[in-house]
């Protein structure tokens, strides 16, 4: 089921009604930067582990 709230003004009013604070673009960019660092760190570790596992399996 797809639900649309419509224009940004309606979304702002909806979130205000739910007592949810809005995120400014500046703060959103900061959050995205922190998330990107975490994602990059986890993906690098996962790739390294996969490479090691593949190497060990090949050497068996």
Q: What's the whole-number mean pLDDT along residues 24-30?
A: 80
Per-residue model confidence as pLDDT tens digits over 38-60 = 899 999 999 999 999 999 999 88
Q: pLDDT class for 26, splitting at 50, 70, 90?
A: confident
d(CA 25, CA 39): 20
DSSP 31-46: HHHHHHHHHHHHHHHH
Mean pLDDT computed over 22-50: 87
pLDDT value of residue 1: 44
DSSP state of 50: H
Give the pLDDT confidence score for residue 50 in this predicted structure. Answer: 95
């Amino acid at each position: 089921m797809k639900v649309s709230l419509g224009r940004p003004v309606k979304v702002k009013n909806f979130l205000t009604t739910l007592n949810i604070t809005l995120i400014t673009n500046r703060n959103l960019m900061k959050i995205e930067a922190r998330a990107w660092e975490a994602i990059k760190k986890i993906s690098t570790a996962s790739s390294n582990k996969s490479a090691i596992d593949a190497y060990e399996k090949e050497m068996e």
